[in-house]
Amino acid sequence: MNDEKKILRALWLLIIISAAARAFIAGFIELGNDEVYYRLYAEFPALSHFDHPPMVGWVIQLFTLNLSLHHEFFLRLASVMIGTVNTWLIFMIGRYIKDSLTGLYAAILYTTSLYAFVITGIFILPDTPQNLFWLLSIYFLIRSLPSMELTRTNRYFMLAAGVTTGLALLSKYSSAALLSGAFFFILFHNRKWFSAKETWIAFLLAILLFVPVIAWNINNDFISFTFHESRITPGKTMPLHPDYFGTEVIGQIFYNNPVNVMLIITAMIAWVRRKRFMNVDYFRLLMWICMPLTLVFLGFSLFRQTLPHWSGPAYSGFILIAAAWLADTSIQGHTGRLVPGVLRAAIIFLAVLLTLAVGQIRFGWIPLERWKVRDITYDLYGWRQLGPEFKTIAEKDNAEGVMTGDPVIFSWRWFPAANMDYYLGREIPVRLYALGTLERIHKYYWIDKERGPVRAGSDVYFLALSDDFVDPASLYVKMFDTIMPPDTINILRGQELVRQVYVYRMKGLKTDYNP
């Protein structure tokens, strides 16, 4: 059962197949709303941004050679590579806290999680670098904090944890859970670390690495912090929303694979019943880091809408606990199988779901609209068609003198503005501006300034989507002499009409637009 060669062979098979599958999907499907938006972090780098810290933009710059590689595959390459490293990394953590079998089970559970496989392993989001530095921080903290002897080696691990925690904070604000988890573990279980200078140096390193984000927020009235506070803080008279809470619970179960969640709950129950299947201090440290993050977002969901992937990093720790319990159970039961049936079920769940999802995105296998159910896969489809179609219209308009100069586009929200910025911009030079409140246009508030003014007399396009329709007359009628009737671009998936895009020409900007 514990044959090291078999375990390593199974691990590398898992890593190779997972990486190949994620790489294929990364290039096969179009970018989502969030992904095209975070690409702007790389095109317009800054010390921080309205929505998130800067790390995801830096990662995109690195793996696309500063956006010289434009295809979706290269924009997502960081996620494919980091997801592969993370699979190996969680194996290493599992092997350290118990044995190689635990490491293998942790790697399988991690791979079968939709959060790990898709959200951080295919899609390019702030969660991608966060998950890497989160796992590295857990590894370094486990190698240091539970130790009762403050040796030179574990002191070095503490310093390393400070660096990776700082990098995690540069990825996403929720990484603060690493700092609080480490602090409370020391406070309640190993106060000796308070006397070690490395503890305080590690904390200082994390904060110093986060200084660019603080500096940017100081220069921008702490807008990023107040934005996120408004998203999660309940108002004084805000009623309870059991429906939001239910959606969060179901979302966490689905995103992390129902089979995995069942194993996590079973392992937790076993621990409460005093079945000690792993080192007590390792368990405590993982719980101090991960459980508060989960409970905080469940608590917020009682009052405001939340997104299930916000608590995703916490499940990395829970997966390690479940893997340790499952390894202990498998050895005691002598099942004779390296990969027990429950893990095979988790793999099957992921494979079936991915096949259906990718097929639905590209081919529309299930006619959801006939049942009056919104097909959310439309968000990941049709933009590749739109680019060449718009290019044809814009070139014809320019040749006939209908519109002059390189195309200028006005939009009303950060999406679909970012989608058009990328997919239209791949075909033809485009200057796109998003006009509206800061909460609606996000980073475009700063991008518009970098792109400069639009001069009076300019002609401007506006593209309205049939499934997210806004009439440009309601937004810009006072800004232009004329808004002409639109041309229509049909977006097809096979023989199915999934969206129409209405291309409006807004003639004669009355005054300069100075962002």
Kindly give the confidence (pLDDT) of every residue in the chain, 515 residues in length, as a single tens digit, with 9 standing for 90 and above.
458 899 999 999 999 999 999 999 999 999 999 999 999 999 999 999 999 999 999 999 999 999 999 999 999 999 999 999 999 999 999 999 999 999 999 999 999 999 999 999 999 999 999 999 999 999 999 999 999 899 999 999 999 999 999 999 999 999 999 999 999 999 999 999 999 999 999 999 999 999 999 999 999 988 988 887 766 666 555 678 888 999 999 999 999 999 999 999 999 999 999 999 999 999 999 999 999 999 999 998 998 888 899 999 999 999 999 999 999 987 654 556 789 999 999 999 999 999 999 999 999 888 877 777 778 888 999 999 999 999 999 999 999 999 988 899 999 999 999 999 999 999 999 999 999 999 999 999 999 999 999 999 999 999 999 999 999 999 999 999 999 999 999 999 988 899 999 999 999 999 999 99
R_g over Cα of the chain: 25
405 Cβ neighbours under 8 A, 6+ residues apart: 398, 458, 459
What is residue 370's predicted lDDT score, i.e. its pLDDT? 75
Torsions phi, psi of 308, nearest 5?
A: -60, -25
What is residue 115's predicted lDDT score, i.e. its pLDDT? 97
Among the listed residues 165, 160, 208, 209, the one whose alpha carbon sits nearest the alpha carbon of residue 183: 165
Length of the chain, please? 515
Among the listed residues 121, 124, 129, 122, the one whose alpha carbon sits nearest the alpha carbon of residue 38: 124
What gap in Å lies between CA 179 and CA 166, rounded to an integer? 9
DSSP 263: H
64 Cβ neighbours under 8 A, 6+ residues apart: 42, 70, 74, 75, 77
Q: Long-range contacts for 215-219 (Cβ within 8 Å, ≥24 apart)? A: 215/47, 216/46, 216/47, 216/48, 216/49, 217/48
What gap in Å lies between CA 17 and CA 184, rounded to an integer? 39
Instruction: Measure the CA dihedral 385/391/394/400, to 10°.
Output: -120
Q: What tokens appear for 322 in the block? A: 């479940």
Position 100: which residue type? Answer: S
> 54, 46 in Cβ contact below 8 A?
yes
Element holding 361 (H helix, E strand): helix 341-363
Torsions phi, psi of 70, nearest 5?
A: -95, -20
Exposed / middle / buried, residue 146 (Cβ in 10 Å: 0-12, 13-18, 19+): buried
DSSP assignments along 133-180, one per residue: HHHHHHHHHHHHTT-SS--HHHHHHHHHHHHHHHHHHTT-GGGHHHHH
DSSP 239: P
DSSP 245: H
Whole-model pTM: value is 0.94
CA-to-CA dists, residue 201 to 9, 38, 337, 353, 437, angstroms = 40, 32, 46, 45, 41
What gap in Å lies between CA 48 and CA 18, rounded to an integer? 32
Q: What tokens appear for 415 in the block? A: 């999406």
DSSP assignments along 406-449, one per residue: S-EEEESSHHHHHHHHHHTTTTS--EEEE-S-HHHHTTHHHHHH
What is residue 368's predicted lDDT score, i.e. its pLDDT? 79
